[in-house]
Chain A
Amino acid sequence: MRLTLKIWRQADQQSQGAMHTYEVDGISEDMSFLEMLDVLNEELNAKGEEPIAFDSDCREGICGMCGLMVNGEAHGPEVTTTCQLHMRSFTDGETITIEPWRSSAFPVLKDLCVDRSAFDRIIQQGGYISVNTGSAPEAHSIQVPKEAADRAFDVATCIGCGACVAACPNGSASLFMGAKITHLGELPQGQAERDIRVVNMVGQHDAEGFGGCTNIGECTAACPKGIPLDVISQMNKDLRTAMRHGL
């Protein structure tokens, strides 16, 4: 495959970035999208040019580190992570536009790398439960209904990649927060901190500069884990409950 790539280049956080055009040839359709970028970077290295910075870690779709805006869609045209996107999803001779996540809360560090620490701080505000650790408790001492366990597990598959923010026209992180709040809210262990969790997480979300949710649904369409929109409803309900409880 021969491709034309339009890629955002930015030297560092302070610099002005711009789109640059590159040509790559000899790309196999079995390559992953990141392997295609690796090929381009090897060529850039050989020419003595600065390679394109992009994030990746596990490259098997479970860590949430990679994430690129490919042709105007977060993680590209398939419902998966950028590392699990393959070149067979593109056609020979195609022009592909590659941009970093665009969010004021995710500043661009270099080229296609953004700082997603804002998500870490949202988690620090309640995306956990406070329990004494020690030896593993007896599994049956706290019973969890099957439906609750299933839903908690499904939404716990959120890997915090930030595609929801990248896709959202408002730059909102509601799907991410909703996933965490629903995951813990479905389980008995999550009840004690349920009210304070939603208030503190949403408070941090707003302070980070993310936008408000308008229930458009571009987030769930972009989510590589298929987190459904009803987690946002759950978050709204939990916030309303916290409001009634005076928090």
Chain B
Amino acid sequence: MTLVATPTLVHGSRSTRTTIALKILMAVSGIIFIAFVLLHMYGNLKAFAGHDAYNEYAEHLRTIGEPMLPYSGLLWILRVVLLGSLVVHVYAAATLWVRAKQARTTKYVMKKHTGAIFASRLMRWGGVTILVFLVWHLLNFTIGKVNVQGGATNDPYNLLVDSFEVWWLTLIYLVAMAMLGAHLHHGTWSALQTLGLTGTERSRTLAKRFAFTLAVIIAGGFSLVPIFVLVGVID
């Protein structure tokens, strides 16, 4: 009868095969997403500058780098990088999720979560929610270009305004942004910690404050356009 789970010492451990290596992959891909959503948010805020400025920005995204790059070249490079990051991020998360399940097969009858912020406990299901939203979002504005009001779909500004004039679409986006904000609140801090950048009490406090600020800026910045369309300021 063995009393222990692994009665022997393992040999030949590799740094690249550890749970921490998976976490590093998650942190790096997450930081790529953070950079992307910041740029994306900046682009969205162009809606406040009006129809022409917004559409010009959208068109410029496709002509950027020409003639060195083909039309839409940079956009496609970004799409490949983002899709790669998504695969890495989801793979690492799923692997660690399964591991965590196996690490405690008998649940506690009673368990408190002292020391945990609510956002940290939302990471996994919140991440799934954001993934589902992402599929809808791409169908809405990129792949399908679905205009629920039946108007033009080849005019980015009009598609935006037509979409967010519909209250339930705005609601979906606001809920998604709340989830994204929570994900970034814990995720940004977690990424910095995983990369080993929070080795002192001071840097830990700063990282947590930075993560919260970034989450508010991104979730808030994205929410402005749908809200202002719904109330009729942008039309």
Contact = CB atoms under 8 A, between A and B. Distances in A.
A72 B112 contact: yes
Given A103-B103, A109-B3, A209-B103, A218 B204 contact: no
Nearest to A207: B10
B6 A202 contact: no
Contact of B110 (A71, A171, A212): A71
Interface string B11-34: 001111111111110000000000
A13 B3 contact: yes
B83 interface: no
The CB with the most chain B CB atoms within 10 A, among A72, A73, A215, A237, is that of A215
B112 to A, nearest CB: 4
The CB with the most chain B CB atoms within 10 A, among A103, A107, A199, A228, is that of A199
Interface stretch (A27-35, A36-44, A51-59, A113-121): A113-121
Interface stretch (B136-144, B171-179, B189-197): B189-197
Contact of B13 (A108, A169, A204, A214): A204
B49 interface: no
Interface in A189-211: 198-200, 202-211
Given A6-B109, A104-B104, A214 B190 contact: yes
Interface string B100-114: 101111111111111
Interface string A7-48: 010000100000100000000000000000000000000000
B46 to A, nearest CB: 35
B67 interface: no
A171 B52 CA distance: 54
Interface stretch (B115-123, B157-165, B219-227): B115-123
A102 interface: yes
A19 B22 CA distance: 37
A129 B48 CA distance: 62
B116 A216 contact: yes
Interface residues of B, number: 55
B209 interface: no
The CB with the most chain B CB atoms within 10 A, among A107, A198, A202, A208, is that of A202
B153 interface: no
Q: How large is the interface on A (under 10, 10 to 19, 20 to 34, 35 or more residues)?
A: 35 or more
B200 interface: yes
Interface string A143-159: 00000000000000000
Contacts of A115: 3-4
B115 A236 contact: no
A101 B203 CA distance: 32
Interface stretch (A85-93, A132-140, A238-246): A238-246
A219 B112 CA distance: 12
7 contacts: A105-B103, A124-B9, A125-B9, A202-B20, A203-B10, A213-B19, A214-B123
Interface of B: 1, 3-6, 9-10, 13-24, 96, 99-100, 102-117, 120-121, 123, 186, 189-190, 193-201, 203-204
> Closest 10 interchain pairs by CB?
A203-B13, A221-B115, A237-B196, A171-B103, A211-B103, A212-B19, A170-B100, A72-B110, A72-B112, A211-B100
